[in-house]
Structure 1
């Protein structure tokens, strides 16, 4: 299948590492022009604009810079995110930690959509990174689960509100990224008793949703979890 990204202009947040970097490289391999936004410096082969996705003035300036470098905007991918305090019960989680997770994972996506939509070409696409944690939960992840549930709701809301572009999100299960390894440890990823995705696999899901061949798909969350959420608790 031809993905039709040749000379398309793509902006990716969180593109200095992990899923964001995989997305940036996947789009570029398909012929797109790509600029990433990140707090951290990107690899030498990635055109990076430094910004804080939770700071509106910084985001507005960074988006304007990226659009000027690209010469337009066709696809926006929101990959910037943090996990917050993993394994910490809610009763032991500070308000500051709660606010930090929501600021990056929710406010950051809202600001991204707000400041990129005026530049997006008709028929363009926004793809957010959500998580299977929007649908299923494990103890000690309440702030993260809440934030990713909000991303799914935001996806649906913007699909209704933004009339000339499509808005979807990808909701993957555990992905082998530097963030996941920092949260869970190398052994937990390397010896997991469950399937673990690669960042490149998630990037291909993003490209599918962003392309013109996915034109009928709007306001949807692509839950990619190896079928785990479909399993019944019935002992059969």
Structure 2
């Protein structure tokens, strides 16, 4: 149990990848507080786009845990998937950036002062930071920003490691809402489970990754490594 006894805060932990991370960290002996807009009975309500909400929620989590060792930023939205940029409203673009980028920045800003020496921040990005499909411009831009802020924070935040995980399609309620059940149940491409990504996060959060910082872990079954050369 490489995170036994660690004090862990997870945003977006009410469902999907965040919920899988919370379950895994708890199973591995960590003490976990979840922040979400729709929290469970033992969680903390927070809107990651609102600085006052983030600050208050982090203060509550720190009071419960007595400090922080690991912070996992899973809160995210996809936006209007499949909609061309020319048909996407400024409000929809702003929402994606606010949750996926500003939310992670605010999380880092307000948790860093409470993180122990050698602590770890892990953000959820996406393979969409590196590859794209039509109708995903705001989402891709936001996840590319998460990769960049990961590297910037790894340089700026002394004594803390900062990394991000960039998975390909994951079977979550959000993905099913975007793509439909049939697209995932009968997919002709590999689909990860939330638990797969949780293990990736756990590895980067643990002391076994103490030499890794500023890294974007691309978990896409090797698809992005393929050449267009017809061989």
TM-score tier by shorter-chain length is over 0.9
1:5-44 aligned within 5 A: 5-42=3-40
Q: Aligned equivalents of 2:26 and 2:98: distance in 1?
A: 29
| CA offset digits 1:167-225 (Å, max 9, x no partner) | 00000000000000000000001111100000000000000000001000000000000
- Aligned residue for 1:226? 221
- Aligned residue for 1:168? 163
- Aligned residue for 2:211? 216
- Aligned residue for 1:190? 185
Query: Does residue 157 of structure 1 match 2:155?
Result: no
For residue 86 of structure 1, report the CA deviation from its aligned partner. 0.3
For residue 41 of structure 1, report the CA deviation from its aligned partner. 2.4
Structure 1 counterpart SS, 2:144: helix
Q: 1:88 aligns with which of 79, 83, 87?
A: 83
- Aligned residue for 1:144? 139
Structure 1 counterpart SS, 2:212: coil
Structure 1 counterpart SS, 2:154: helix
Query: Does residue 57 of structure 1 match 2:81?
Result: no
- Aligned residue for 1:97? 92
Query: Does residue 118 of structure 1 match 2:113?
Result: yes
Alignment RMSD, CA only? 0.7
TM-score (normalised: structure 1): 0.97
Q: 5+ residue gaps in structure 1?
A: none
Q: Aligned equivalents of 1:37 and 1:131: distance in 2?
A: 21
Q: Aligned equivalents of 1:78 and 1:234: distance in 2?
A: 37
Q: Runs of 4+ in structure 1 displaced over 6 angstroms? A: none
Q: Aligned equivalents of 1:212 and 1:16: distance in 2?
A: 26
Q: Aligned equivalents of 1:172 and 1:40: distance in 2?
A: 24
Q: 5+ residue gaps in structure 2?
A: none
Query: Does residue 70 of structure 1 match 2:30?
Result: no
- Aligned residue for 2:122? 127
TM-score (normalised: structure 2): 0.99
